[in-house]
Structure 1
Amino acid sequence: MMASVAGHALELIAPGLYRFDTGYLRKNHTAVYLLVDQGQVAILDTGVPANVPGLLEVIEVLGCSADNVAYVIPTHVHLDHAGGAGALMQALPQARLGVHPSGADHMVDPSQLEVGVRALYGDAFFDREYTPVTAVAADRVEPLDDGRVLQIGGRTLEVVYTPGHAWHQLGLLDHDSGKFIAGDAFGAGYPGFGDEGAPFVVPVVPPPQFKPEAYRDTLARIVQSAPAQVAPAHFPLITEVASVAATLEAMLDAGIEATWAADSVDDLERRLQTVWYDWLTTGADWSAYIKAYGKDIWLTAEGMWLWREKQR
């Protein structure tokens, strides 16, 4: 099932589970997932503030109303995943905001988050992509414990902590469909690279919370949960879960080796571009690769370089 909503694609990926292309930065870059069952809705990630009107339209297209939304759950509080949370919550009177405990304060008072994102991306990018960031009332925020099981209609969503990309990250396992909603815990991939079910993905580890051991543990935990598919925020579905996890871990190790060899963050970015390109199939276009993955690699270079400095 495909339906055009506010210029974006809404795709049924399992009974009652939909993927909404936010259009953030470009088509097929960032997804939000919606679980609908027995008249209840959970919105998993939110996109940026500009995505809120489209998401509200999507809810209506699916035959529901704002009152049917029980939970809004950002996988983590980075603004491409949680930037729309405050505005969504204002429009969804019955919803609770479920979030990792380490991210709850940032949802209630996003001022520190804004300062950090402006420092990383610059004011022009922040003002274009992320404003306005709206606070969520504290009494509507529900910290979610690891292993918590949420009921959405007759469906169960299990909360799984997935640190590595960020300490405040969690994933959601939909037991009925076997889909694991992973946010950024299982790399970033975009259509046109790799194979169906085993897309080319890169580890994305922004500053300031990258921890290699946590990232490796998260990959292992997701594999051990034995999902039928991993549904990442960026972007193709992953069926070959174990093999993609092994590749991600190998790419992470290669990235760490490059981090110790680099003499600057710019040098590290160039090294990562070259090192990870080698995992692509022969004949992959370099310029298309850089266009698709350049920002992710830049962000990872910043995160790995800061991690290296902390080790010293």
Structure 2
Amino acid sequence: MTSASDPSTNAACEHGIVTVDTGFHRPVFDAAYLIVENGRAAFVDCGTQHSIPALLDALARQGLTPAEVDWLILTHVHLDHAGGAGALMRRLPNARAVVHPRGAPHMIDPSVLVAGATAVYGAEEIERSYGEIVPIPAERVVVAKDGHVVDLAGRLLLCVDTPGHARHHLCVWDQRSRAWFTGDTFGLSYREFDTPRGPFVLPTSSPVQFEPEPLKASIRTLLARDPEAMYLTHYGRVGDVQRLGAELIEQIDAMVRLARAAPAAGGDRHAHLVAALSDYFLARARAHGSALTPAQMQEALAVDIELNAQGLEVWLDRRG
């Protein structure tokens, strides 16, 4: 079966890549990655402030200290990927943070991020889920335009602009492993949905910046390098990437059709979209051979279905 190389916390993988379960939301849901090369290290994404002990433990298990981390590369600045970045950087004295040009200002001054999340979830929930969100000093932030290369002790990591999930999203190509670190661009693949047919994948939108055509173009950009694997934030390493990429594009088109068929803006549209997306994704999971019950599938995907419905609504409204 093709699935994550090892979805357990701090699991050492080949090519010096370690999958770290950040502990956000539930186990085996949100990953950060530690790349080790010639005694130096880089993190790709970091989870929340509450994730820092797991990240430092992963580092120690590789025989490294915080002073030997050169880079924190953020695929984008959504809080489940980057909420703990400022606090983590305080623990990494020699590291610099690599961020998309649209995301860098929000890491230097996260007040807008905090205000927006607080308006939606409330201050108590922000503290519970994400902890303190603190700034990164501007002199420690490297702005990664499309094509920027990060040098990790001679191991070159290419940052590529990949909009669609968010306009401040980048993916990271590692030639050594012939793999991408994809953030949310290559969708979600939760390990409990794996079957003998391989991993199951679905797209993920953001509530405010979902753009179907750019997202499909970004997926095709990733596939064009004929990668051996993708390292997803949600969750872990997956192979069989050409099949998964084709399925993602097919599902994005289906999401657009469902959105266009929804009622006009109003009280019923959101509920209609949630129901339609639930039916669609659960049917695909059953067709994939998932052994989960419908209730288990619904529980595992409920948050993502809600976010996809929100993203489609904002996309519809933006189109006018």
Equivalent residue, structure 2, for 1:306: 314
How far apart, CA to CA, are the structure 1 residues paired with 2:137 and 2:229?
34
Equivalent residue, structure 2, for 1:275: 280
What SS does the corresponding residue of 2:227 show, helix, strand or coil?
coil
What SS does the corresponding residue of 1:101 show, helix, strand or coil?
coil
What SS does the corresponding residue of 1:202 show, helix, strand or coil?
coil
Computed over aligned residues only, the root mean square deviation of the Cα atoms, in angstroms, reads 1.9
How far apart, CA to CA, are the structure 2 residues paired with 1:236 and 1:52?
18
Equivalent residue, structure 1, for 2:266: none
Give matches, 1:124-273, under 5 Å. 124-195=124-195, 198-263=198-263, 264-273=269-278
How far apart, CA to CA, are the structure 2 residues paired with 1:144 and 1:154?
18
Post-superposition CA distance 1:107-154 (Å, at most 9, x none): 011111112222344444322101210111111111012112222123
How far apart, CA to CA, are the structure 1 residues paired with 2:40 and 2:300?
35
What SS does the corresponding residue of 1:280 show, helix, strand or coil?
helix
Kindly indicate which of the two structures has a greater share of residues assigned to strand.
Answer: 1
Matched, 1:63 2:63: yes
Equivalent residue, structure 2, for 1:77: 77
Post-superposition CA distance 1:12-49 (Å, at most 9, x none): 22221110011111111010001111111100001110
Sort the Cα spacing of 1:60 and 1:101 in 2 relative to 1 into closer, same or farther, 3 A: same
| Structure 1: 5+ residue stretches without partners | none
Sort the Cα spacing of 1:103 and 1:196 in 2 relative to 1 into closer, same or farther, 3 A: farther
| Contact persistence 2:31–2:236 (CA under 8 A) | no
Task: Note the C-alpha offset of 1:224.
Answer: 0.3
AA aligned opposite 2:281: W
Task: Note the C-alpha offset of 1:196.
Answer: 6.3
Give matches, 1:106-125, under 5 Å. 106-125=106-125
Give matches, 1:10-21, under 5 Å. 10-21=10-21
| Contact persistence 1:197–1:238 (CA under 8 A) | no
Worse overlay, 193-202 or 263-272: 193-202
| Contact persistence 1:199–1:236 (CA under 8 A) | no
How far apart, CA to CA, are the structure 1 residues paired with 2:158 and 2:239?
19
Q: TM-score, normalised by structure 2?
A: 0.92
How far apart, CA to CA, are the structure 1 residues paired with 2:121 and 2:283?
28
Sort the Cα spacing of 1:21 and 1:107 in 2 relative to 1 into closer, same or farther, 3 A: same
What SS does the corresponding residue of 2:186 show, helix, strand or coil?
coil
AA aligned opposite 1:201: V
Give the 4+ runs in structure 1 shifted more than 4 A. none
AA aligned opposite 1:170: L
What SS does the corresponding residue of 2:24 show, helix, strand or coil?
coil
What SS does the corresponding residue of 1:187 show, helix, strand or coil?
coil
AA aligned opposite 1:272: L
Sort the Cα spacing of 1:85 and 1:197 in 2 relative to 1 into closer, same or farther, 3 A: farther
Sort the Cα spacing of 1:260 and 1:190 in 2 relative to 1 into closer, same or farther, 3 A: same
Higher relative contact order (CA 8 A, sep 6+): 2
| Contact persistence 2:202–2:248 (CA under 8 A) | yes
AA aligned opposite 1:231: Y
AA aligned opposite 2:273: L
How far apart, CA to CA, are the structure 1 residues paired with 2:229 and 2:12?
14
| Contact persistence 1:45–1:82 (CA under 8 A) | yes
AA aligned opposite 2:26: R
Matched residue count? 308
What SS does the corresponding residue of 1:192 show, helix, strand or coil?
helix
How far apart, CA to CA, are the structure 1 residues paired with 2:109 and 2:227?
34
| Structure 2: 5+ residue stretches without partners | 264-268
| Contact persistence 2:56–2:66 (CA under 8 A) | yes
AA aligned opposite 2:160: V
AA aligned opposite 1:12: A
AA aligned opposite 2:247: T
Post-superposition CA distance 1:183-223 (Å, at most 9, x none): 10100121121436841111111121111111010110010
How far apart, CA to CA, are the structure 2 residues paired with 1:253 and 1:22?
31
Sort the Cα spacing of 1:249 and 1:239 in 2 relative to 1 into closer, same or farther, 3 A: same
